Amino acid sequence: MRSALALGPGAEFDRIRSILGRLGERAAGVGGDCALIPAGDGQLAVSVDLSVEGTHFRTEWLSLEEIGWRAAAGALSDLAAAGAEAVGILASIGVPRGAPASAVTTLMDGVGAAAASVGGVVLGGDLAAAPTWLVDVTVIGRVEVPVTRGGARPGDGVWVSGRLGAARAALDALVRGATPDPEAREAFAKPRPRLGLGRALSRLGVTAMIDLSDGLGGDAGHLAAASACAIEIDLGLVPIGPGVVEEAARRSDPPAVYAAAGGEDYELLFTLPEAASLERVRAVATATGVPVTRIGRVGEGGGVHLRLDGREQEIHGFDHFA
């Protein structure tokens, strides 16, 4: 079993460090996107993700099918970061008392659709009555040689998939009672876990990878901590998602800063050796249908350095306990 990886800063991760300190030798291999368990010629990649009504979603914003999809996709995204293929999903659902029997069936339609979209199936789960909707998803995948957050080296390029900030733009619009940009709402309601891209990047030789669940500003810190190096990002190069320009303007934020501070993009942040062939990188993007953009480099030292027009920006990701 591999040793634990270092985590970046934040109140949520201070709690995790405290838990690991208490567990001591009773915990192993914690700190990555997935738990990795030797199995035959490869490894099982296992991860779990909890979605809570009122914290991660509201039923007035999303259909139950969308809630199920979104919860499953968030967990499946961890498999993408390990370069794994999906085997299946287990889902434990807390169902509000008084909800019709058809409600949980509809929610599980979304869970099953997300699993099927990446070649997985629903393997089982549990039901219980609860004060609000809870969706706790465990995902299981297979991988021969997993990618972790801990392999980036000074001189590597820093890359990101897709476009960032659309989920945040949709959320901000929903919070104020407005209708989100349709593409931004799609990004919020039905994120696409990048398992195909993750496997292709693994074959390409990425040195480290993490999925962006808590935002570029926060998740880059975990990659930097695990790799014991600095992550240097030029925010002017960050690809901006739909709805971002309009929502950023409402806050008088530069769009790139707004996008980097958002969460739930479920894109992949990864590092590649400087010598990596641009033609091969472009070929991966074309084959998977997911654009990738170089946004920075790995440097000596530690921490995350986010710059816009040469000026350092202080950007933190989402933190449940901040």
Residue 223 and residue 211: Cα distance in Å, rounded? 10
Residue 179 and residue 89: Cα distance in Å, rounded? 32
Helix 64-82 with 101-117: angle, nearest 10 deg: 30
Q: Which helix (H) or strand (E) holds 186?
A: helix 182-189
pLDDT digits (tens, 9 = 90+) for 204-223: 999 999 999 999 999 999 99
pLDDT computed for residue 5 by the predictor: 63
Q: Are 216 and 139 in contact (CB under 8 A)?
A: no
Identify the residue whose tokens are 């619009």: 173
pLDDT band at 315 (very low <50, low <70, confident <90, very high): confident
| Across 256-263, average pLDDT | 94
pLDDT computed for residue 301 by the predictor: 96
More confident residue, 237 or 6: 237
pLDDT digits (tens, 9 = 90+) for 86-107: 999 999 999 999 999 999 999 9
Residue 77 and residue 81: Cα distance in Å, rounded? 7
Residue 74 and residue 136: Cα distance in Å, rounded? 11
Residue 115 and residue 109: Cα distance in Å, rounded? 10
Residue 222 and residue 77: Cα distance in Å, rounded? 16
Q: First vs last Cα of the chain: how many Å apart?
A: 32
Q: Are 169 and 255 in contact (CB under 8 A)?
A: no
pLDDT computed for residue 1 by the predictor: 45
pLDDT digits (tens, 9 = 90+) for 8-34: 666 776 786 787 788 888 877 776 779
Give the right CATH number for 32-143 from 3.90.1150.170, 3.20.20.70, 3.30.1330.10, 1.10.3720.10: 3.30.1330.10
Identify the residue whose tokens are 């449940």: 320
Q: Are 148 and 32 in contact (CB under 8 A)?
A: yes
Residue 130 and residue 257: Cα distance in Å, rounded? 38
Q: Tell me the residue type at 22.
A: R
pLDDT computed for residue 186 by the predictor: 98
pLDDT computed for residue 321 by the predictor: 45
Query: Can you count the helices (H) and strands (E) in the chain?
Result: 10, 12
Q: Which helix (H) or strand (E) holds 173?
A: helix 166-175
Residues with Cβ within 8 Å of residue 213, at least 6 apart in sequence: 74, 77, 219, 263, 264, 265, 266
Q: Are 184 and 173 in contact (CB under 8 A)?
A: yes
**Domain ranges in the chain?**
32-143, 157-313
pLDDT computed for residue 276 by the predictor: 87
Q: Are 135 and 107 in contact (CB under 8 A)?
A: yes
Q: Are 2 and 27 in contact (CB under 8 A)?
A: no
Tell which CATH architecture fits domain 157-313.
Answer: Alpha-Beta Complex (3.90)
Residue 195 and residue 198: Cα distance in Å, rounded? 5
| Across 283-289, average pLDDT | 97
pLDDT computed for residue 317 by the predictor: 63
pLDDT digits (tens, 9 = 90+) for 43-90: 999 999 999 999 899 999 999 999 999 999 999 999 999 999 999 999
3-state DSSP assignment of residue 96: strand
